[in-house]
Amino acid sequence: MNKHQKPVLTGQRFKTRKRDEKEKFEPTVFRDTLVQGLNEAGDDLEAVAKFLDSTGSRLDYRRYADTLFDILVAGSMLAPGGTRIDDGDKTKMTNHCVFSANEDHETIRNYAQVFNKLIRRYKYLEKAFEDEMKKLLLFLKAFSETEQTKLAMLSGILLGNGTLPATILTSLFTDSLVKEGIAASFAVKLFKAWMAEKDANSVTSSLRKANLDKRLLELFPVNRQSVDHFAKYFTDAGLKELSDFLRVQQSLGTRKELQKELQERLSQECPIKEVVLYVKEEMKRNDLPETAVIGLLWTCIMNAVEWNKKEELVAEQALKHLKQYAPLLAVFSSQGQSELILLQKVQEYCYDNIHFMKAFQKIVVLFYKADVLSEEAILKWYKEAHVAKGKSVFLDQMKKFVEWLQNAEEGMIPFNNSGGHLANAFSL
């Protein structure tokens, strides 16, 4: 039996099309081509951007990204440490770079646009540019003061327009830069440029996302890593917004630690006197106001219990629990503002936890009888200081008690139908 041959195609064969290949250069040849093009473009940054755009199809930007950015920023290839490799040969350097530009925000912003256009055109350069900027920040000691200033301005502008992430700032925490004061000085110039592009909220939000909000003190040597020193340094430099931000962040961190420790002590059922002593010491040590503590106490006290899911039982459970801790709350609600904050916290808690909706009035009356809340605070809350959550429900619950308080304040203490004092109607 004959085997049938498989059919074959005949005719012209086409070679698979190869991708355009980049010209292969050594770094020095790459440098010479780049320097020549920048010198020909001169101070016309639009021409510089067009040159970089068109040359990228011929030069291997991916392989020589570090050389590319070294030259655009410093005008020369940089050796490890930041010294210029070609410092003695002006033919291998260019003056059309960031370090040779005028030291003003508008000029540096125009240079920043060159980087923006280049990275938008060649997206693969994004990571390489980030690495380059981290490297340049490590090299700050090798640059003159004016070069450091221009680099700080460029960094701030690029952070503002989103070309760079805030994580580049980690390079500033290097010991040698911190000890010599270069890190803090550079940071001030960088933040000024950044805030010229974006508002303070945007800047601080970026710092939080990069987990740098808690590391700002590391810009200073260990013996100067205090909030007060940071605040004075940056406020004197015209960056009060950043000083205020750090104070808030430090306060939040302190409060979290305090809340964690309080929760632990309450779960262990420590004596109230010991808890009071501990809280007062922490307030003094961290300069915390009473208004910041009262809300934490309420949260910890309410988190210390596994609450009953039945509405008719949870009120009784809550009153028993809160009666035990009323003396603790009373110590830290000695100011009118603290009392209002506590009332608002109770209101929000009862609204957010539906089983407590009907318990709000009973909790307030308990706190009134235990001298945690004054009638002035309750009346002020009722008239103007309540929050929106469940407002109509809670105001309705409090109506009769508020009326009694107002009458008592005027010396007109009414009696109920059974001949008893109306206060007795508000039983716990």
3-state secondary structure of 6: coil
Q: Answer yes or no: is pLDDT of 58 > 90.
A: no
pLDDT of residue 348: 95
- Closest among 292, 355, 297 to 325, alpha carbons compared: 297
pLDDT tens digits for 33-56?
Answer: 999 999 999 889 999 999 999 998
pLDDT tens digits for 179-200?
Answer: 999 999 999 999 999 999 999 8
pLDDT of residue 421: 43
Q: Answer yes or no: is pLDDT of 8 > 60.
A: no
Q: Answer yes or no: is pLDDT of 3 > 70.
A: no
What share of the chain has pLDDT > 70, as a percent?
89
Average pLDDT over the chain, rounded to an integer = 87
**Burial code of 309-339, b = ≥16 C-beta within 10 A, e = fewer?**
eeeeebbebbbeebeebbebbebbbeeeebb
CB-CB contact of 93 with 35 (8 Å): yes
pLDDT of residue 406: 86
DSSP state of 84: B
Q: Give residue limits of the domains in the chain.
A: 27-217, 310-409
Q: Answer yes or no: is pLDDT of 16 > 60.
A: no
pLDDT confidence band for 409 (50 / 70 / 90): low
pLDDT tens digits for 314-331?
Answer: 889 999 999 999 999 999
d(CA 138, CA 131): 11
CA within 13 Å, CB half, 391: 8
Q: The pTM is what? A: 0.64
Classify 390 in phi/psi space as left (phi over 0), alpha (psi -120 to 50) or beta.
left
Query: In terms of CATH architecture, what is 310-409?
Result: Alpha Horseshoe (1.25)
